[in-house]
Amino acid sequence: MAKQPDTRPGRFNLRRFLQGEGPEPGPILLTQNRVYILPTRHGVFFGLQLLVMLVAAVNYNNSLAYALTFLLSSLCLVAILHTYRNLLHVQVDVAHIPPVFCGDNLSAPVRLDNTRKGTRYAVGLQFPPQDPSRVDLPGDQCFHAGMSLPTQQRGRHRLGRLTLHTTYPLGLFRAWGHAQFDRHYLVYPRPDDYHPLPVTPSYHLNLSGDRGVGSDDFATLRHYHPGDPLRHVHWKIVARGQGLHIKQFGGDRAEELWLNWDDLPTLDTEARLSRLTRWVMDADTAQFSYGLKLPGSQIPLGHGPAHRHRCLKALALFGANTPDTGTAQTVAA
Amino acid sequence: MTDIKAVIDTLAARASDVVLGKEHEIRLSLACLLARGHLLIEDLPGVGKTTLAHVLAKILGLEYHRIQFTSDLLPADILGVSIFEKERGDFRFLPGPIFAQLILADEVNRATPKAQSALLEAMEEGQVTIEGETRPLPEPFFVIATQNPTHQIGTFPLPESQLDRFLMRISLGYPNPRAERKLLTGQDRRELLKDLQPCLDSAQLARIQTAVPQVHVADALLDYLQALLHSSRQSSHFSVGLSPRAGLSLLHSAQAWALMAGRDHVLPEDVQTVLPHVVGHRLRGSNGGDEDTNADALIAKLAAVAIP
Amino acid sequence: MKHPPQNLHQRLRRANHPRLWLLAGLALSFIPHLPRLPLLIIAPSVALLVWRLAHELALVALPGRFVRGLLTVLALAITFTAYHTLFGREAGVGLLVVMSCLKLMEMQQPRDITVVVGLGYFVVATVFLFDQSILIGLYMMLVVVVLTTALTAFNRGTAQPPRWLNLRQAGQMLLQAAPIALLLFLLFPRIPGPLWNLPDDSTAAGTGLSDSMSPGKISQLSNNNAVAFRVQFDTKPPPATLRYWRGPVFTYFDSKTWSNPDHQRRPGAPYQQPGFRAAGTATDYTVTLEPHQQRWLFALDLPSRLPLRSTLSREFELISKSPVYQLRRYDMQSYTDYQLDPASPPDQFRYLQLPNNAAPRARQLARQWRNRFANDADIMQQALQYFRQQPFYYTRKPPLMPGDPVDEFLFDRQRGFCEHYASAFVVLMRAARIPARVVTGYLGGETNPLGDYFIVRQSDAHAWAEVWLSGQGWVRVDPTAVIPPSRVEDSQDLQRIAPEAALTLAPPGWATRAWRQLGFGVDNMNHYWNQWIINYNDQQQMALLSGLFSYLGLKNIDWRDMVGVLAGGVTLVLVALALPLLRFRRRRRDAITAIYTRFCRKLARRGLSRNPAEGPQDFALRAILALPGNASAIVDISRRYQQLRYAPRPPTDGLRHFRSAVRRFRP
């Protein structure tokens, strides 16, 4: 017989019981075969207490003691239903996780849809080694919880398993469900402390006016000096009889700032990445046009948020053979 | 309703005589105008963006200005300046080209962000503030901005926040072979433009514009609209979901489209028709960058949302 | 003070709700125990409760670890001082109460709250060991609700829950649990009898007939209106004059007190049963006996059947194998027309015993009668005649008779109640060499017209005599009955002793009647409570199940069937609860959509299935292209659907037309 593990939905499976489903795209609806329930420590203790009460009832042949024992036992049975129900049919999803710098906490935007009219109380959310947080899900609404997770390693990581659990209403039983999303997040290298950019940008006029790539715009007017291009004369002012003025553009400066891996031979890999990250940030803030040269790859000159992300992503993934890595696994050499 | 439909049909037919084979784009532009939104045309040079804008201005009988955006364009070049008059001893305001009913902002992404924002603020506010003085813009006020594909060299792509101010983004594309043949053999477009007569006066236009918000939107349609917004916000395919403003834009565009079809209520089909043009420039895929390549895929994802 | 001064109301609002509920629940659970608990236990428990409450209101701090340890030792010492033991029912309750209050002192962690709630439930259970009345049952139910609310509130955890929400949740869960609990109560196999010998709790004083009788002392029972037992007759009840309920019989007299040496023997010692000849028809009935901590069971004179777990003594007393600590219900049969042991003359030594120094004047009188009459029966009549003719009074408040109680009663005071008469009569008989004995028990009983059963109260306690006459055997003689009604002080006694005479008295007023009617109603409720709740046992369980099974045509059931029925029933209730609770609510679709879906399904059968994202107009267009023959119908239906669903003012009865159009549609 084949030793294939039984992965049919609805069938009990130990691996699934312990670890949950494999990575899946969201949203995940916690259906019957995804929610498990077992007594808590209190539940077991309470069960023992009920047993003692039953023995007492038998021994004293006491009808009301019987009745009490039976009522509390039934309460336990009903509590199973209610605890289970408190988690059943919650729909959970994780939206896009914005990249963060290594060492910062990332915020995973978890979205919980309480598909039911009534409020669900005290639902615990946890990315296992982190501490759980407890939330109430208002009825017929979506609840957005930003789950904070520490980052330790640059690179592309798969989001860990999200565990939802609850012991409401009696705390005697704990229902839980796992949600493993096929969702990755990017951790940029940690930016180094301040180091000046490798090149001091030089100012020079750019003759091809409308082809200017500088990110700054018109800066000032100054008096015409012989030799200035006529294209930059502000003719409207001339027309008003106020003399010749030249439009000066601050943006036309240092258009080619290359951030080069090879410029930092003295540092080790991570320190180099860290330094380059700092430079990318600074070049972006200063609104330079910059490019990135890494061994084996090169990002052409550019600017703007998308370009910045591209550079930082290249730095984050540097040295990674495959774009995918497991949960919180090391990427770099 | 039916007379509005007739008017619109006439308009579209007239425009199509000049801008060949682009009836759908013309209708979308008209819808955008009726919904009091601004239009962004993104395409290569020479496919007839300018002609389209000009034709619209002509047939609607609107006052028309064209501003060519260049990298040295200053805000004052758009808005106007106050100059000192020696004879009178005080300043006189010289209105810029923005003071017109229909503005064609050509190659808007060639200008610096500062110049761009001058235009976009005017679009948003319906008025301009120059040297502390607020001046209202004419009514109706309609901006058609054209943009080169962003990957062309020497451009300043409009930031997302600015893009949101355009109700629709369309692209014209190359004409189909039949239209192209007619274009090659036919009369000069510029000659045709000169002969074009307005079909509408501004009072009629205003009347149609006020009819747009009165087009009925049923609860069922709002459900659908919300499902779309919800899907964009929830799905992992999008890094940023559609804003509430995007939702309103979608609604108004669909209302205008329904009105142009001579209906007093909006159908899901209206929403679907305008959807790619309203949300295309507002969505951003979750894998960052390169929005052009996956914009169509993203829209397809939204278009697959079930109608409740 | 860290906080600005607040009034109590503000403090209450800021306090932790789960813990307030818990304190309330615990305090409420203690209340029924209060009369039983010594002050030594009550005082520290209340102090600890108040301490904790004050802490919750942010008034005081909790004790540290060292003080807590000290308090624990102190609590153990106090309990031991109060009870001289830490075990047994009474001491156990004391310990439980003190310890659960102590636990409050360290209740900080979530786990502690659950533990204290558990202790609270336990206290509720211990209350039932002492009292199982309806009121206590209802009250304890309330306590359970409060304790469960505390648990719910604690597990919710949010700071400011909507008011009463926790109570509602707890109440709802208990209500849902109730049917399952009922099934368990009815069908969970009951194991008869104690699992092990109970610790001797007989020190607790019970009410009822004692195992000795001292006529000189004031009777405590005559004013006690508590119910002794209730009787339901299956056959016709005997007339009032024959309703003698036989209890302990006394044979030994020490000049002050009557007793029976057999009562000191181990129970169940075999004796040769006296001969017993019955006449007439048997009377069948069921006795529900209130616990009285003694071993007597009561039966109508003369019992002809033995209840379970009991024996019959040689004086025809029914003796239970263990003291009646719990309500006990037994079926009985008696013959009121009987002859007891007429053949063999009884044990002379046993039934003629008299202490030498007792009652010299009575002996004198008996000797005179013996000389005068040859026949025992005549002497007996003479004695009764003496009671009738001399000025004997029946009173509940007899004077103290410190000397010889029999002589003083017979010759000086001549006032007393049944015990005096029975005692004196037996002494007279024995002095006249006639075997005699004192029988105690109850006489009469009140019919509850609402429930069709008899109530026998402690105030019905009675004592009479039995005399052995040759040829007739033991004959019941009630000397009290010969007192003329005019010499009975209390009308209540008159009714009992001389029912016919009582009829001549003025009828009671309406208030009295209403009050008695109310009393009957309450007693009726108690009776059914006792019968179906308190005394529900393995036999009743079996009877219930056999009834159920015979209804289904099944026979020969045993406990396995019961467990089967129980499991089936519980599963059924759980499923019935789970179905609505665990149902996934899909978004409801309205009628218009439903009809349109039907239309789409019809087209789907022709291979045209609508894409969920496809609008009605687009779909119609596609359908027309595929099925040009149906074009007009498709356009009509789609147009109607659009009108109904999206247009501002859908046409009146548009839905009806739409529905019929879809019904007619045959693609």
DSSP state, residue C488:
B
Least CB–CB distance from B112: residue in A240, A251, A306: A251
Query: Which of B257, B267, B301 to mutate to test binding with chain C, by most C CBs within 10 Å of its CB?
Result: B267
What part of B 35-74 touches A (C-beta under 8 Å)? 70-72, 74
User: Rounded to an integer, what distance in angstroms lies between the CA atom of residue C129 and that of residue C136?
Assistant: 11
3-state helix, strand and coil shares in percent for chain A, rounded to the nearest 5: 30, 30, 40
- Calculate how close chain A gets to C430, using CA atoms only, in Å: 44
Tell me the chain A residues in contact with residue C169 when contact means C-beta distances shorter than 8 Å. Answer: 169
Tell me the chain A residues in contact with residue C136 when contact means C-beta distances shorter than 8 Å. Answer: 64
Query: Which of A218, A221, A249, A256 to mutate to test binding with chain B, by most B CBs within 10 Å of its CB?
Result: A218
To the query of whether residue C418 is one of the catalytic residues in this protein, the response is yes
Closest to A104 in 3D by CA, of A162, A190, A185, A192: A190
Strands C227-233 and C283-289: antiparallel
- Calculate how close chain C gets to A37, using CA atoms only, in Å: 14
Is C616 touching B (CB cutoff 8 A)? yes
What are the residue boundaries of the structural domains of chain C, listed by start?
Answer: 8-156, 228-340, 348-438+463-502, 512-581, 591-664
Q: What is the mean pLDDT of chain A?
A: 77
The predicted-structure confidence for B277-300, as pLDDT tens digits, reads as follows: 888 888 766 554 444 446 677 777
Q: Which residues make Cβ contacts (< 8 Å) with residue C420, sequence separation at least 6? A: C215, C398, C405, C409
Residues A57 and A95 in one domain: yes
- Calculate how close chain A gets to C174, using CA atoms only, in Å: 6
Tell me the chain C residues in contact with residue B266 when contact means C-beta distances shorter than 8 Å. Answer: 646
To the query of whether residue C478 is one of the catalytic residues in this protein, the response is yes
Put simply, the answer to whether A93 touches B154 (Cβ < 8 Å) is no
Residue C143 pLDDT > 90, yes or no? yes
The predicted-structure confidence for A65-104, as pLDDT tens digits, reads as follows: 999 999 999 999 999 999 999 999 898 888 778 788 998 8
pLDDT computed for residue A231 by the predictor:
65
Residues A300 and A243 in one domain: no
Tell me the chain B residues in contact with residue A218 when contact means C-beta distances shorter than 8 Å. Answer: 72, 74, 112, 114
Residues A157 and A294 in one domain: no
Residues B259, B264, B270, B274, CA torsion sign: positive
- C453-457 β-sheet, strand order: C328-334, C283-289, C227-233, C453-457, C446-448
pLDDT computed for residue C436 by the predictor:
93
pLDDT computed for residue C185 by the predictor:
92
With cut-offs at 50, 70 and 90, classify the pLDDT of residue C158: low
Put simply, the answer to whether B71 touches A212 (Cβ < 8 Å) is yes
Question: Could you say which residues of chain B have pLDDT below 50?
Answer: 288-293
Q: Cis omega (within 30 of 0) on the bond before A169? A: yes
Is B216 touching C (CB cutoff 8 A)? yes
More confident residue, C432 or A14: C432
pTM assigned to the model: 0.64
Average pLDDT of the segment spanning C331-346: 83
**Has residue A1 been placed in a domain?**
no
3-state SS assignment for residue C379: helix
pLDDT computed for residue C217 by the predictor:
58
Tell me the chain A residues in contact with residue B286 when contact means C-beta distances shorter than 8 Å. Answer: 96
Beta bridge pairs of residue A124: A134, A165
pLDDT computed for residue B251 by the predictor:
93
3-state helix, strand and coil shares in percent for chain C, rounded to the nearest 5: 50, 15, 35
pLDDT computed for residue B47 by the predictor:
78
Tell me the chain C residues in contact with residue A167 when contact means C-beta distances shorter than 8 Å. Answer: 155
Q: Distances from the Cα of C212 to the Cαs of C229, C249, C301, C316, C533, in angstroms? A: 20, 9, 20, 17, 33
Tell me the chain B residues in contact with residue C610 when contact means C-beta distances shorter than 8 Å. Answer: none
Residues A183 and A193 in one domain: no
Are A253 and A214 in contact by the 8 Å Cβ rule? The answer is yes
Residue A312 pLDDT > 60, yes or no? yes
Amino acid at A230: L
Q: What is the mean pLDDT of chain C?
A: 83
Compare all CA atoms of chain A with the CA of B109 and give the residue at the minimum distance: A210
Residues A21 and A170 in one domain: yes
Tell me the chain B residues in contact with residue A240 when contact means C-beta distances shorter than 8 Å. Answer: 83-84
To the query of whether residue C600 is one of the catalytic residues in this protein, the response is no
Put simply, the answer to whether B288 touches A218 (Cβ < 8 Å) is no
pLDDT computed for residue C273 by the predictor:
64
CB C661: neighbour CB atoms within 10 A? 17
Count of the separate structural domains present in chain A: 3
Is B261 touching C (CB cutoff 8 A)? no
Residue C465 pLDDT > 60, yes or no? yes
Compare all CA atoms of chain C with the CA of A32 and give the residue at the minimum distance: C582
Residue A178 pLDDT > 80, yes or no? yes
B204-213, C140-149, C391-400, C424-433, range with the lowest pLDDT: C391-400
The predicted-structure confidence for A194-229, as pLDDT tens digits, reads as follows: 777 776 544 444 443 333 333 344 545 566 666 556
pLDDT computed for residue B23 by the predictor:
85
**Has residue A14 been placed in a domain?**
yes
Residue A328 pLDDT > 60, yes or no? no
- Calculate how close chain B gets to C547, using CA atoms only, in Å: 56
Strands C446-448 and C436-443: unpaired
- Calculate how close chain B gets to C618, using CA atoms only, in Å: 7
Residues A173 and A34 in one domain: yes
Put simply, the answer to whether A78 touches C177 (Cβ < 8 Å) is yes
- Calculate how close chain C gets to B266, using CA atoms only, in Å: 7
pLDDT computed for residue C573 by the predictor:
93
**Has residue A307 been placed in a domain?**
yes
pLDDT computed for residue B86 by the predictor:
75
Are C631 and C665 in contact by the 8 Å Cβ rule? The answer is no
Residues A167 and A243 in one domain: no
Is B268 touching C (CB cutoff 8 A)? yes
Percent of residues, chain C, with pLDDT higher than 90: 19
Q: What domains appear along chain B, each with residue ranges and CATH number?
A: 2-74+100-212 (3.40.50.300), 215-308 (1.10.8.80)
Is the ipTM above a cut-off of 0.95?
Answer: no
**Has residue A62 been placed in a domain?**
yes
- Calculate how close chain A gets to B28, using CA atoms only, in Å: 30
Crossing angle (nearest 10°) for helices C89-105 and C65-83: 160
Put simply, the answer to whether C156 touches A168 (Cβ < 8 Å) is yes
**Has residue A109 been placed in a domain?**
yes
Average pLDDT of the segment spanning C68-91: 84
Tell me the chain A residues in contact with residue B153 when contact means C-beta distances shorter than 8 Å. Answer: 211
Compare all CA atoms of chain C with the CA of B214 and give the residue at the minimum distance: C648
3-state SS assignment for residue A332: coil
Residue A204: what are its φ and ψ, rounded to 5°?
-155, 155
Put simply, the answer to whether B72 touches A210 (Cβ < 8 Å) is yes
Compare all CA atoms of chain B with the CA of C596 and give the residue at the minimum distance: B308
3-state SS assignment for residue A122: strand
A202-206, B56-60, C7-11, C341-345, range with the lowest pLDDT: A202-206
pLDDT computed for residue C507 by the predictor:
67
Range of the domain at A300: 189-202+255-333
**Has residue A124 been placed in a domain?**
yes
Tell me the chain A residues in contact with residue B74 when contact means C-beta distances shorter than 8 Å. Answer: 218, 247
Put simply, the answer to whether C613 touches B267 (Cβ < 8 Å) is no
Residues A45 and A141 in one domain: yes
Neighbours of chain A (3+ CB pairs under 8 A): B, C
Choose, from C55, C292, C462, C527, the residue flagged as catalytic.
C462
**Has residue A2 been placed in a domain?**
no
Average pLDDT of the segment spanning C462-469: 91
Residue C536 pLDDT > 50, yes or no? yes
- Could you give the residue ranges of the DSSP H alpha helices within chain B? 2-18, 23-34, 49-60, 75-79, 113-125, 160-163, 177-185, 189-195, 202-211, 219-234, 244-260, 268-279, 291-303
Q: Exposure of B171 by Cβ count < 10 A (0-12 exposed, 13-18 middle, 19+ buried)?
A: middle
Q: Which residues make Cβ contacts (< 8 Å) with residue C483, sequence separation at least 6? A: C387, C388, C392, C393, C394, C421, C497
Is B300 touching C (CB cutoff 8 A)? no
Is C132 touching A (CB cutoff 8 A)? yes
Closest to B263 in 3D by CA, of B200, B206, B219, B216: B216
pLDDT computed for residue A12 by the predictor:
60
Residues A278 and A238 in one domain: no
Average pLDDT of the segment spanning A147-171: 89
Neighbours of chain B (3+ CB pairs under 8 A): A, C
- Give the DSSP per-residue string, B124-145: HHSEEEETTEEEEPPSS-EEEE
The predicted-structure confidence for C110-124, as pLDDT tens digits, reads as follows: 678 888 999 999 999
**Has residue A76 been placed in a domain?**
yes
- Residue A112 zone, left/alpha/beta (φ > 0; ψ -120 to 50; rest): beta
CATH number for the domain formed by residue range(s) C348-438+463-502: 3.10.620.30
Residues A60 and A13 in one domain: yes
Residues A140 and A217 in one domain: no
Residues A260, A266, A268, A271, CA torsion sign: negative
Put simply, the answer to whether B265 touches C614 (Cβ < 8 Å) is no
Crossing angle (nearest 10°) for helices B219-234 and B268-279: 30
With cut-offs at 50, 70 and 90, classify the pLDDT of residue C27: very high
Residues A28 and A146 in one domain: yes
